[in-house]
Amino acid sequence: MFTNRRTIRAGLRVLAACLVLYPVVALSETAQDDDDDDANDAREHYEAREALRLGQALPLEKIIEAVRKEVAGDIIEIEFEHDDGRYVYELEIINPSGRVVEVKVDARTAEILEREEDE
């Protein structure tokens, strides 16, 4: 009976420790995800600046100007990527009807390569 109580107490201590430590572990994983996102953002910004400097990409203002001629709405996200041997901007836009439109644009020419509307 004594060992049974000791076992129960030990189990409760382990459970209590888990409950106390779980938020710490969860927050550290979230922080790691944020660090990864920050690193990706920094890499993306560096690539965009270098591509602009080397004449491989137009300034973002020119890209937005070209896209606005074709797609109405509010831009909610912009990404800069190297895709199929060229740099592209990917824009997500909420159009006036509330749908998200994804637009892929050649960074050097501002040509719209793809346009996809979420359903």
The CA distance from 81 to 104, in Å, is 10
Q: 104 and 88 in contact (C-beta within 8 Å)?
A: yes
**Cα separations (Å) of 25 from 20, 21, 35, 37?**
10, 6, 15, 18
43 and 98 housed in the same domain:
no
Confidence (pTM): 0.65
Query: pLDDT for 42-96, tens place per residue?
Result: 888 899 999 999 999 999 999 999 999 999 999 999 999 998 899 999 999 999 9
18 and 61 housed in the same domain:
no
Q: 65 and 52 in contact (C-beta within 8 Å)?
A: no
76 and 46 housed in the same domain:
no
25 and 78 housed in the same domain:
no
The CA distance from 80 to 29, in Å, is 26
Domain extent for 12: 1-54
Q: The CATH number of the domain where 82 resides is what?
A: 3.10.450.40
1 and 42 housed in the same domain:
yes
Q: 72 and 91 in contact (C-beta within 8 Å)?
A: no
End residue of a domain, out of 35, 54, 73: 54
Over the chain, what is the mean pLDDT? 82
Residue 15 in this model has a pLDDT that exceeds 80: no
Tell me what pLDDT residue 13 has: 62
